[in-house]
Chain A
Amino acid sequence: MPTDTPLAPGNRRAWTNGVLAALTGIFALMAGLFLANLWGRPSRPANPLVDEAFLDTAPWRQSYADLARAKEDLSDFDCYACHEKNEPPPIRYDADLNIIIPEEHETIKMGHGSHQRNNHCFNCHNESNLLVLHTRDGRELSFAESSVLCGSCHGPTYGDWEAGAHGRISGYWDRSRGPAHRLDCVNCHNPHAPRIPSRTPAPPPSPLRGPRTDPSREPTH
């Protein structure tokens, strides 16, 4: 049997008491920290609320009918404020047969179709009466009836639109409870450049553990 520690009994008691007191202190501290939940829940920045612009249900564009209904300024449609009656405006093309938009109409960007066959103003506007539109078969239509004009070329899409399968809708699916609000072609499509432009998407779902800071760690699949 090895002999026990050479410390005197008194010293040994003091040493033991010191260690015990220190250990008790450490345990109490840990218990305090634990209850204060210092590391129990890692803090992370709150998810930002989505921009309310992404919740907007209003159409992108206003049709002539919308403007007339809202009694807004219709001076843009008053062609003969500048043009002269009985004098068809001239149309010029560059060498590639792209139409040259005059300065007065610089807001118009032509892009109707990927070809150049439909860049002629008077395919739709009536050159002898600029206040109306006309179809290829000679029907005259007011600006408020522009959807019919679109339908004179885009028949299948027009049929879908009439049946409710193309275009936006809001309000009531149950027509006995309330009206459904339908939109015209020009509420979404710019008639001069009807392709719907690309747009910025709303933010993607946030990862559970806070925003990813390193873009190279984007999952690739």
Chain B
Amino acid sequence: MATPPPVPSDKTSDRALSRRSFLRSTAALSGLTALAASLSPLRELDDFTSTEQFLQKYYKELTPEEMTRVLARIEKEVERQYGIRPHVRDLRPMDGVEFVYCLNLTRCIGCRKCVHACVAENNLSRDPEIQYIRVLKLPHGSLDVEKAEHKYTADQVPEKGFFYLPVQCQQCRNPACVKVCPVHATWQESDGITVIDYDWCIGCRYCEAACPYWARRFNFAKPGLPAERINPDMSYLGNRPRKLGVMEKCHFCIQRTRAGRYPACLEVCPVGARKFGNILDPNSEVSYILREKRVFIQLKEEMGTSPRFFYYFDK
């Protein structure tokens, strides 16, 4: 066996850089760079969760005094972020009230005014865009939502041979979304509205997957909300500004309906296709409609979710 030839030594000079020390320092440098880059989203975090919010109790466990403090905190945060002093309330369900929505498919012309009135009323993110109502365009003679289109760009509506089916949260009696929530951040209230506590939601999106109506929306980015279009009439479970990483959905305009008013999508509908009211009141419009009209579907009835949103025809 021949002895190995002597390895050429770099030790002739102290200033020379060996391959090993170069690799080591490069690895260290790139490691630091990668660490810095991975932390760089922190620079965009201008709304750190406050200690108050972090330590806040579950909605149903809050005492009235604690709720007052929570509402004050939200008002302060909204004012700091958007420069507008809002009026945030926590409206509770009324006794003897169960909300039902009816939508007249004979009348709907697919003008999408409800979509944008909802966006304006509920402080929805404009960029990226979040909308609670999806207006489906369906060919006559079918109710196959597979054939539906919701990005139609017609010049004039209604188009011949089509009808329009606006879909939003159906406020089910048997809501799949509530069952799957691992942290009870969403639940059904006694007036039938399924609500979300945005401060309790962990953003796992199970509810989005469970909902057969595609009614739930996720804040993939910080909501882009122009300050000049903020609606200052806010409610804790309703339209207060959401944050990155939480779910939201239609809540029947809780800040309006629990104060006795009609929802925004109903008031803006130019053809009066939308009807809303208390089903427990026999004199309400919705009671009349369910009694007298051809109410033909709860959407995807076979899912067993039993929606409180009814579609009907006139003729």
Contacts and interface: CB of A to CB of B under 8 A. Distances in A.
Given A9-B8, A34-B37, A47-B129, A166 B109 contact: no
Contacts of B112: 54, 201-204
Nearest to B149: A221
A173 B113 contact: no
A174 B272 CA distance: 18
B100 to A, nearest CB: 11
A206 interface: yes
Nearest to A161: B272
A188 B33 contact: no
A61 to B, nearest CB: 11
B13 interface: yes
A80 to B, nearest CB: 35
A152 to B, nearest CB: 19
A177 B267 contact: no
A117 interface: no
A interface SS class: loop
A219 interface: yes
Given A47-B126, A165-B292, A177-B259, A204 B150 contact: yes
A171 interface: yes
A165 to B, nearest CB: 5
B154 interface: yes
B60 interface: no
B276 A173 contact: yes
A37 B40 contact: yes
Interface residues of A, number: 58
Interface residues of B, number: 72
| Among A160, A164, A165, A208, residue most surrounded by chain B Cβ atoms (within 10 Å) | A165
Contacts of A201: 110-112, 152, 154, 156-157
B133 to A, nearest CB: 10
Contacts of A55: 113, 116-117, 120, 268
Given A13-B10, A31-B33, A54 B260 contact: no
Contacts of A90: none
Given A9-B8, A164-B288, A27 B151 contact: no
A86 interface: no
Contact of B22 (A20, A167, A196): A20
B8 A205 contact: no
A174 B93 CA distance: 13
Given A24-B26, A173-B276, A202 B127 contact: no
Contacts of B268: 55-57
B50 interface: no
Interface stretch (B173-181, B196-204, B241-249, B277-285): B277-285
A165 B250 CA distance: 23
The 8 closest A-B pairs by CB, nearest first: A177-B260, A174-B260, A164-B285, A202-B112, A31-B33, A168-B272, A198-B156, A170-B267
7 contacts: A9-B8, A35-B33, A49-B226, A57-B117, A171-B262, A188-B271, A218-B153
Interface of A: 1, 4, 9, 13, 16-17, 20, 23-24, 27-28, 30-31, 34-35, 37, 46-47, 49-50, 54-57, 60, 160, 163-174, 176-178, 180, 183, 188, 196, 198-206, 208, 218-219, 221
